[in-house]
């Protein structure tokens, strides 16, 4: 199956997101977002690239996620229009130190991306935890 240039570019954004997350690089992650992006999860909602930058900084520096990695990744995407894509990243969170019997959380990141001037940017990210 041949993939289109836009599919390859969106896959690159997703790969860069996972790499940034696993490297705890809040700056690299925030660069993937549009200026007016929105991120939401069980911890709250954040709007704008600066709030997204601050959210990821806190996540990686002030929480138990400071040593966590996304693992067992599976991604899919679909295009709603030639300039709008929805992408899902299914994940398991793996931390360096787990309490005995503690389950590894699993979930899905739902990204909405838009294409402006031949560049794909994330405009919305929602985190859904399954357990």
| C-beta neighbour count of 27 within 10 angstroms | 10
Percent of residues, the chain, with pLDDT higher than 70: 93
Asked if the model's pLDDT at residue 12 lies above 70, the reply is yes
Task: For residue 96, give the CATH number of its domain.
Answer: 3.10.450.50
Domain count, the chain: 1
Q: What is the pLDDT of residue 67?
A: 81
β-strand partners of 119: 116
What pLDDT does 25 receive? Answer: 96
Q: Does the pLDDT of residue 101 top 80, yes or no?
A: no
Model-level pTM? 0.90
Task: Express each pLDDT in 34-67 by its tens digit.
Answer: 999 999 998 889 999 999 999 999 989 877 788 8
Domain that holds residue 108: 5-129
Determine how β-strand 119-129 pairs with β-strand 84-94.
Answer: unpaired
């Amino acid at each position: 199956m041949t993939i289109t240039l836009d599919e390859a570019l969106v896959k690159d954004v997703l790969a860069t997101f996972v790499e940034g997350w696993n490297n705890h690089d809040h700056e690299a992650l925030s660069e993937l977002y549009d200026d007016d992006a929105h991120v939401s999860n069980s911890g709250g909602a954040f709007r704008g690239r600066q709030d997204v930058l601050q959210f990821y900084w806190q996540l990686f520096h002030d929480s138990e996620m400071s040593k966590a990695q996304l693992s067992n990744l599976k991604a899919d995407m679909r295009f709603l229009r030639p300039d709008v894509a929805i992408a899902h990243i299914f994940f398991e969170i793996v931390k360096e130190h787990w309490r005995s019997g503690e389950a590894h959380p699993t979930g899905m990141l739902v990204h909405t991306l838009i294409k402006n001037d031949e560049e794909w940017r994330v405009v919305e990210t929602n985190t859904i935890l399954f357990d």
